[in-house]
């Protein structure tokens, strides 16, 4: 099965998850994906930093985009684990997620995601994410 392109993934995310802000899928090739989440004031937590749930959602979405770019449109691929380390406080600005596939098997996909503010090369969070893949039909 052919993987989805970055543009196809972005359209798919917007259609399937209309209630959330769709990040810009800048690239996705089955091995790496890069997403950009524009800053919105509702993403802030007390203290003026981007919230943990905002960063966790972006990490999960980046891994989902990576999985879709590797295996194609498989809506029933689901998160089974997400472990995140918050490394430093991100300022209120756009976030970039860089996802890398560590292992793509028949039933699981494991990857890591580095999050960083758009104005910096320093990561603000690092996640390891596992997706369960439905059986091929």
pLDDT at 13: 95
Q: pLDDT digit of tens for each residue in the chain (137 aa)? A: 579 999 999 999 999 998 988 999 999 999 999 999 999 888 988 888 899 999 999 999 999 999 999 999 998 999 999 999 999 999 899 999 999 999 999 999 999 999 999 999 999 999 999 999 998 75
Is 117 inside any structural domain?
yes
Give which of 70, 54, 75 is closest to 125, Cα–Cα: 54
Is 28 inside any structural domain?
yes
pLDDT at 24: 97
pLDDT at 46: 86
List the structure tokens of 54. Answer: 């905002």
Q: Containing domain of residue 114, as a range?
A: 6-132
Is 123 inside any structural domain?
yes
Q: Where are the alpha helices (DSSP H) in the chain?
A: 6-16, 52-71
pLDDT at 45: 86
DSSP label at residue 75: T
pLDDT at 44: 82
Give which of 137, 136, 98 is closest to 116, Cα–Cα: 98
Is 106 inside any structural domain?
yes
Is 1 inside any structural domain?
no
- Rounded Cα distance between 93 and 76, Å, is 32
pLDDT at 48: 85
pLDDT at 137: 54
Is 137 inside any structural domain?
no
Torsion of the alpha carbons at 69, 64, 38 and 126, rounded to the nearest 10? -110
Is 68 inside any structural domain?
yes
Tell me, what CATH number does 61's domain have?
A: 3.10.129.10
Is 57 inside any structural domain?
yes
Compute the residue count for the chain.
137
Whole-angstrom CA distances from 45 to 10, 28, 68 are: 27, 30, 31
Domain count along the chain: 1
Under 8 Å between Cβ of 117 and 94: yes
Give which of 124, 15, 111 is closest to 69, Cα–Cα: 111
């Amino acid at each position: 099965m052919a993987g989805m392109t970055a543009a196809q993934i972005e359209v798919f995310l917007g259609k399937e998850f209309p209630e959330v802000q769709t990040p810009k899928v800048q690239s996705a090739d089955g091995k790496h994906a890069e997403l950009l989440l524009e800053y919105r004031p509702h993403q802030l937590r007390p203290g003026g930093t981007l919230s943990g749930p905002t960063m966790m959602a972006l990490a999960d979405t980046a891994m989902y985009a990576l999985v879709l770019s590797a295996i194609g449109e498989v809506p029933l691929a689901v998160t089974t684990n997400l472990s995140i380390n918050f490394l430093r406080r991100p300022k209120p600005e756009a976030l970039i997620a860089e996802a890398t596939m560590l292992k793509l098997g028949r039933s699981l996909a494991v990857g890591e995601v580095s999050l960083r503010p758009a104005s910096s090369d320093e990561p603000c969070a690092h996640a390891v994410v596992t997706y369960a893949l439905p059986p091929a039909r």
